[in-house]
């Protein structure tokens, strides 16, 4: 895996190139009825600066509010909505969205409005030269506002990821990532994590496939901390990834397998 964060003349040349292929946005959503319409509108405003060939796939992950109904009521031909009967997790929702996406480029975008979408044009233009673009809270040009404890926990988790998985990026968890369509569809065949650490898993697989990753700045405003239960689940997810990667070597054995199977120790 090649990771680069440098910006300069080459990036400016890439951004000047005008034509953009079809873009698929995957937006997992869980109980976001008060934000989902605004998120879609903001996203479309940025997309229309780049292309009119796009789709926004909202995956309602078993919401108990009217998230699904809010999206349906928008009657937008560029917006698709699919629904899980129960909450399965963000990783599961993203994988489901990828499976029906049709874009040459696929972007993961959170629905909670904590992350600005204004860098989409740069992301997709630079993506012509890389397999994956990840938004990083720790990019020197990022704006990251969050409770201090959340920042500390995020940094500690990143250190663990780098140490135990070999994924050498500054931030795996920010919910704004862009992929070449062929790359992410290949990666997701090997992603098993349904909830919190699926980002780590997909980057670990990308690492094994020697995919090129580029880190970009983001603007993130997070007003609340991270629940203790979520921290526990993230650690469990990470341990599972390490087990499959370092001990069982399941990913390495299945890189060329179109339909890999795995029986989890814990079905979370």
CA-wise closest residue to 168 among 54, 4, 51, 41: 4
Q: Residue 80 falls within a domain, yes or no? A: yes
What's the pLDDT at 265?
66
DSSP string, 200-267: HHHHHHHHHTT-EEEEEE-EEE--S---HHHHHHHHHHHHHHHIIIIIS-HHHHTTT-SS-----SS-
DSSP run (H or E) holding 46: helix 36-47
CATH of the domain at 142: 3.90.550.10
Token reading at 204:
């670990």
Q: Residue 262 falls within a domain, yes or no? A: no
Of residues 171 and 259, which shows the higher confidence score? 171
Average pLDDT over residues 33-50: 95
Average pLDDT over residues 23-34: 97
Q: How many CB atoms lie within 10 A of CB 223?
A: 9
Q: How many CB atoms lie within 10 A of CB 121?
A: 16
Judge whether residue 225 has pLDDT over 90: no
Structural domain harbouring 12: 7-253
Q: Residue 265 falls within a domain, yes or no? A: no
What is the percent of the chain where pLDDT is above 70? 91
pLDDT in tens, 171-211: 999 999 999 999 999 999 999 999 989 999 999 999 999 99
Judge whether residue 262 has pLDDT over 90: no
Q: In this structure, what is the dihedral angle of CA atoms 183, 185, 187, 190, given to the nearest 10 degrees?
A: -160
Q: Residue 260 falls within a domain, yes or no? A: no
Beta bridge mates, 56: 25, 79
Judge whether residue 45 has pLDDT over 50: yes
Q: Residue 210 falls within a domain, yes or no? A: yes
pTM of the predicted structure, to 2 decimals = 0.90
Q: Residue 266 falls within a domain, yes or no? A: no
Q: Residue 95 falls within a domain, yes or no? A: yes
* Residues 201/194, Cβ–Cβ less than 8 Å: no
Of residues 14 and 72, which shows the higher confidence score? 72
Judge whether residue 101 has pLDDT over 50: yes
Q: Distance between CA atoms of 96 and 26, rounded to whole angstroms? A: 9
Domain count, the chain: 1
What's the pLDDT at 64?
96
pLDDT in tens, 136-166: 999 999 999 999 999 999 999 999 999 999 9
Average pLDDT over residues 49-61: 96
Q: Residue 86 falls within a domain, yes or no? A: yes
């Amino acid at each position: 895996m090649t990771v680069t964060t440098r910006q300069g003349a080459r990036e400016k040349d890439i951004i000047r190139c005008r034509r953009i292929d079809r873009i698929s946005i995957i937006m997992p959503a869980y109980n976001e009825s008060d934000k989902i319409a605004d998120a879609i509108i903001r996203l479309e405003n940025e997309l229309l600066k780049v292309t009119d060939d796009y789709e926004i796939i909202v995956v309602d992950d078993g919401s108990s509010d009217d998230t699904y109904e809010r999206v349906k009521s928008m009657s937008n031909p560029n917006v698709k909505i699919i629904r899980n009967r129960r909450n399965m997790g963000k990783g599961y929702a993203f994988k489901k969205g990828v499976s029906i996406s049709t874009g040459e480029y696929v972007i993961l975008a959170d629905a909670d409005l904590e992350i600005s979408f204004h860098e989409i044009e740069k992301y997709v233009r630079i993506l012509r030269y890389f397999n994956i673009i990840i938004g990083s809270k720790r990019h020197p040009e990022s704006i990251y506002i969050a409770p201090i404890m959340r920042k500390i926990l995020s940094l500690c988790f990143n250190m663990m990821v780098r140490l135990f998985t070999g994924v050498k990026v500054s931030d795996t968890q920010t919910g704004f990532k862009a992929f070449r369509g062929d790359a992410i569809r290949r990666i997701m065949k090997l992603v098993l994590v349904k909830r919190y650490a699926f980002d780590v898993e997909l980057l670990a697989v990308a690492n094994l496939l020697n995919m090129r990753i580029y880190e970009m700045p983001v603007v993130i405003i997070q007003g609340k901390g991270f629940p203790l239960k979520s921290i526990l689940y993230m650690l469990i997810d990470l341990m599972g990834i390490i087990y499959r990667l370092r001990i069982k070597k399941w990913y390495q054995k299945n890189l060329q397998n179109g339909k890999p199977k795995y029986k989890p120790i814990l079905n979370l």
